[in-house]
Amino acid sequence: MAMGSDDAPQGELTEDGFLGGRLVIAQPRGGYRAAIDPVLLAAAVPARAGERVLELGCGAGVAGLCLARRVPGIMLSGLEVQPVYAALARRNGASNGIAIRVVEGDLAAMPAVLRAEAFDHVLANPPYWHAGGGTRSADAGRDHALREATPLAAWISAAMRRLCPKGWLTLIQASERLPEVLALLLAAGAGSLAILPVAPRAGQPASRVILRARKGGRAPCRLLAPLVLHDDARPDGADGDSFAAAARAVLRDGAALRL
């Protein structure tokens, strides 16, 4: 499938299945491509039908749409700074029969339409690399998604400002940045923290962390047992993957992660 150069990075799109085919997502073949992280992020959001949800930096819409598929009836909005990805998020919502309002804009200069609202949940998958970290991508859209142009502090500040009192913020981030994230959340008035390490295999260090925090929350911080993604005893599953049972339930069946 091809699109014009003004419509999508690198001009060509693929259609990829998520949640065992429950979602079909158009993504740029040569730009930023969502993998499992936004699916894990969506699974950790404790949303219920009728609640208002905002995804910051929604890209092509994978995390928000995964959440909406698991929890029908949420009121879903996304904020995306790159117009081509905002257009893809709208397209993906429509093609999957899920209502999503996508606002183009920068979270560091929050659009007025979102400043006027408060949300029960905010979710985000901020870039993992600092501005000078990682290997630079030749595709500008991919590089923008992976490399920090807006400081992590601005992501957390924007999220907390958009939450209603006692609202929930859910993030996924590289494990090495956990101390920074915790400090920013506490400084912003978040509490009731839950931290879920995500490890590639049993016995290996966690490469990702999923964090959930409540605006004004006062419950004790909880560090959970890690989610292990791959099972070495299952190198050739029925569909060719090696995901462990708990990970498969989330990635293939759309199960929730209990934090």
d(CA 61, CA 63): 6
Q: How crowded is residue 222: how many other Cβ atoms within 10 Å of its Cβ?
A: 12
pLDDT of amino acid 234: 64
The whole model's pTM is what?
0.88
Kindly give, in sequence order, each residue whose CB lies less than 8 Å from that of residue 207, ignoring residues fewer than 6 positions away. Answer: 174, 175, 198, 199, 200
Angle at 71 between CA 69 and CA 77, to 5 degrees: 80
d(CA 81, CA 71): 26
The pLDDT averaged over each successive group of 10 residues in the chain (259 residues) is: 39 91 94 92 98 97 98 98 96 98 97 98 92 47 54 97 98 97 97 98 96 97 97 62 94 96
pLDDT of amino acid 145: 44
CB 84 within 8 A of CB 145: no
> What six digits make up the tokens of 72?
């029908």
pLDDT of amino acid 110: 98
**Domains within the chain, CATH numbers bracketed:** 36-251 (3.40.50.150)
pLDDT of amino acid 130: 67
> What six digits make up the tokens of 204?
């290996």
Kindly give, in sequence order, each residue whose CB lies less than 8 Å from that of residue 213, ignoring residues fewer than 6 positions away. Answer: 168, 169, 185, 190, 191, 192, 193, 194
